[in-house]
Amino acid sequence: MKKVGVAILGLGVVGGGTYRILTDHAEFFRTTQHVDITVESVLEKNRERALALGVPAEKLAANIAEVVLDPDVNIIVECMGGVTDAKDYDLDALNAGKTVVTSNKELFCKYWHELERAAKQHNAGLFFGASCVGGVPVIRTLLDGLQSNEISSLVGVINGTTNYILTEMCERGIPYEAALAEAVARGYAEADPAADVEGYDAAYKLSILSSLAFHTKVPYSKVCREGITKVTAADIRNAHELGYTVKLLAVGKNTPAGIEVRVHPAFVAKGHPLASVGGSYNAVFITGDCVGDVMLYGKGAGDLPTGSAIVSDILYAATHTELHYATFKNTAAPAKDVKFVSDFESAYYLRMKVADEAGSLAKIAAVLSHGGISIERLMQRTDGDSAEVVLVTHVTHESAVANAVHKLTANGSAEVCSVLRVL
């Protein structure tokens, strides 16, 4: 039986889950995959943590060189997090001809081309199935399951922390700050939650998924990014009343005008399959020209779900000797003829305060109409001297809405409190 040695760099949540799966399932993999996988080496600064997880002391490596030089190590799993050290270590591994399996989305989205170049030069495998959407095999599906399709669109709920916060806000009507505090207390959010709530994490993943879906490098810098910190309980209530729920969406589209990639909170109609993706669950809704709509749903994070993706990559690497890389050119930049669209099309939700006097609504309607924006639904509520106007537009351009909001504010006809896109 083929023997494969694995090293794990970083025994945090994901590395720990990976270690546990590999050790608990060793016999299962021998039976079902006909491969004998052993963890040969672990690199972890916190020696106590590693020993507590059951790693034998003699398998603890002192440094990356020791791991890379170990002839028994064939595959190096990197789940250290961070970019600088992880990049150096991954390159060291690839340059030594070791196959790298990583869950590091920030690193991979930023340095994909450097890693892939090193992998090709040294005939090493490079796997990143765990970098997006935990154990849900979206990357394997894009590479090997839907590769017959020209994919026009990919819409995902791909960040568990923000989905937990927004689900709590939607279901219990609590404000953002309370939901965030709860997410931190329960371990769903970091003490510094910026990477999640400001949409960075989702943007890294969208960069990777869109690059695969659209067969060209979609740099992280092209992603229009907006977090969930400005979503209010009032917006959530209005969404509910209008038949929507609110999600942080990652949207990638390949249109005749170009590629658009954006991460932002959005209204999602309650009948849409993505609307019922609650709590820490994730899903990606993919539209291909042959297959139509496909959705993949599951847990987007956690030790065993993400470990599931890492170990699936290890098994794939261990049972395939042919090396496959991403199918677009190995380059840091998109192909020259690829255009990116930032003035994309969408429907919009607007919430604004107006003076409760005759003609207020007429002024708003005039500004929108002048900007070519037509209104699909409108609600008005009066509260003392001022009134709240809530409306949903038909599909229009991002720039048209920005201009209209600017005009409404400038001419004093309304104070625009919220602007959210509608899926």
Q: Is 217 considered catalytic here? A: no
Give min distance, CB of 319 to a second copy, in A: 7
Largest CA distance in the chain: 83
Give min distance, CB of 153 to a second copy, in A: 14
- Which residue reads 């799966």 in tokens? 21
**Candidate segments 179-187, 223-231, 246-254, 322-330, binder of a second copy by CB under 8 A:** 322-330
Give min distance, CB of 27 to a second copy, in A: 11
Token pair, residue 325, equals 């890389």
CB nearer a second copy, residue 84 or residue 148: 148
CB nearer a second copy, residue 154 or residue 314: 314
Encoded one letter per residue, x for contact with a second copy by CB under 8 A and - for no contact, window 196-235 reads -------------------x--------------------
The answer to whether the beta carbons of residues 204 and 215 sit under 8 Å apart is no
Q: What is the C-alpha separation between 349 and 232, in angstroms, rounded? A: 13
The answer to whether the beta carbons of residues 422 and 266 sit under 8 Å apart is yes
Instruction: Please tell me what DSSP assigns to residue 394.
Output: P
CB nearer a second copy, residue 146 or residue 246: 146
Q: Is 293 one of the binding residues for a second copy (CB under 8 A)?
A: yes
**Candidate segments 25-33, 193-201, 202-210, 377-385, binder of a second copy by CB under 8 A:** 25-33
Which element (helix H / strand E) includes 53? none
CB nearer a second copy, residue 172 or residue 320: 320
- Which residue reads 């794939």 in tokens? 316
Q: What is the C-alpha separation between 20 and 32, in angstroms, rounded? A: 18
Q: Is 32 one of the binding residues for a second copy (CB under 8 A)?
A: yes
Q: Which of 105, 205, 217, 253 is catalytic?
A: 205
Q: What is the C-alpha separation between 108 and 218, in angstroms, rounded? A: 12
For residue 71, the tally of other CB atoms under 10 A from its CB is 7
Give min distance, CB of 304 to a second copy, in A: 4
Which one of residues 273, 359, 372, 412 is an interface residue with a second copy (CB under 8 A)?
273
Q: What's the order of all strands across the beta sheet hosting 2-9?
A: 35-43, 2-9, 75-78, 99-102, 126-127
Q: Is 146 one of the binding residues for a second copy (CB under 8 A)?
A: yes
Q: Is 17 one of the binding residues for a second copy (CB under 8 A)?
A: yes
Token pair, residue 55, equals 């790693």
**246 dihedral zone (left: phi>0; alpha: psi -120 to 50; beta):** beta
**Candidate segments 127-135, 160-168, 342-350, 369-377, binder of a second copy by CB under 8 A:** 127-135
Which one of residues 113, 328, 340, 418 is an interface residue with a second copy (CB under 8 A)?
328
Residues 156-175 interacting with a second copy (rule: CB under 8 A): none
Q: Is 140 one of the binding residues for a second copy (CB under 8 A)?
A: yes
Q: Is 121 one of the binding residues for a second copy (CB under 8 A)?
A: no
Q: Among 376, 393, 384, 377, which Cα is nearest to 354's?
A: 384
Write out the DSSP string of 268-337: EETTSGGGG--TTEEEEEEEETTTEEEEEEEE--SHHHHHHHHHHHHHHHHH--S----SS-S-SS--TT
CB nearer a second copy, residue 276 or residue 382: 276
Binding site for a second copy (CB under 8 A): 17, 21, 25, 28, 31-34, 129, 134-137, 140-141, 144-150, 215, 273, 276, 288-299, 302, 304-305, 307-312, 314-316, 319-322, 324, 327-328
Q: Which residues are catalytic?
A: 205
